[in-house]
Amino acid sequence: MSRTARVTAQAKINLVLRVLARESTGYHSIETVMLRLDLGDEVCVRPTSGRALDVAGPAMPRDGLGAVEKNLAFRAAVAYADATGWPDGFAIEIEKRIPVGGGLGGGSADAGAVLRALDALSPNPLGARLVELATSLGADVPFMTIESPMALAWGRGERLFPLRALDARPVLLAIPDFSVVTAEAYAWLSSDRGTYTPEAAVLAPESLATWESIAPLAMNDFEHVVARRHPVVDSLVRRFEDLGALVAMMSGSGSTVLGIFTKLANAALVGVSGVNTAETRTSERVFRVEMD
């Protein structure tokens, strides 16, 4: 019987997210600081003779996730098999706990978890070369394959500088009843900016060593353009600030708004109609792949 690999695919937040100039390929370079959360999807991977993906769980959208072949976790397994010649087939099971389309990197986390799981099962693992394979799948996926809970990233997310994780802090997530398609967020940003082409600032790793030093740097280029179309984002950021959050900002391309606290605020105090809340923590570790 084939061995099975299980791993928690941790959500991420971007403490800094700057969108830089658009390249000739149509992609934008980014400069970002990514940090894993304890919140995660549960992913199970098993080599088989066919190719299958089964997704369920409390964060599963009512209308599903679309075509299996377009799912990032499925694409990650196909990419691994194409690159290495192994496995012939696979069965992937995912219990969704990360909100879909909320800017928390759930799809990328699942893809990274699948790559890590297959590499743990493989007779000839890729090891550090896994990041190269992850780059073809999306800007967040390379980070989701490395054994560091926090990193500074440039380019399309493939240039990674691992950082010492900040002390774990409580996080309150406010999740509106709408999602934001990343491609739309980029289009809004390009439209609002016009011909503006920002240059990279190149954050110094020493400025990211403590919560006190990183809090003044926390920013997200997508926040303003998403809030223009969805004003509730601004309302939630201001609400978290009123509740004493050390960092209050939109996550990724939206729509989730996060508050990082010294002591977790009462979720009931968010009090915005059409917004769900979830509690978690920033993570000081990457959950390991377990085998059975």
Q: Which residues are catalytic?
A: 12, 140
Are 264 and 172 spatial neighbours (Cβ–Cβ below 8 Å)?
yes
CA torsion, ordered 76, 60, 186, 146, to nearest 10 deg: -40
Q: Is 161 exposed, middle or buried (0-12, 13-18, 19+ CB in 10 A)?
A: middle
Are 221 and 18 spatial neighbours (Cβ–Cβ below 8 Å)?
yes
Local structure of residue 83 (DSSP, 8 states) = H
Are 151 and 34 spatial neighbours (Cβ–Cβ below 8 Å)?
yes
| 289 vs 49: CA distance, rounded Å | 22
Beta bridge pairs of residue 280:
171
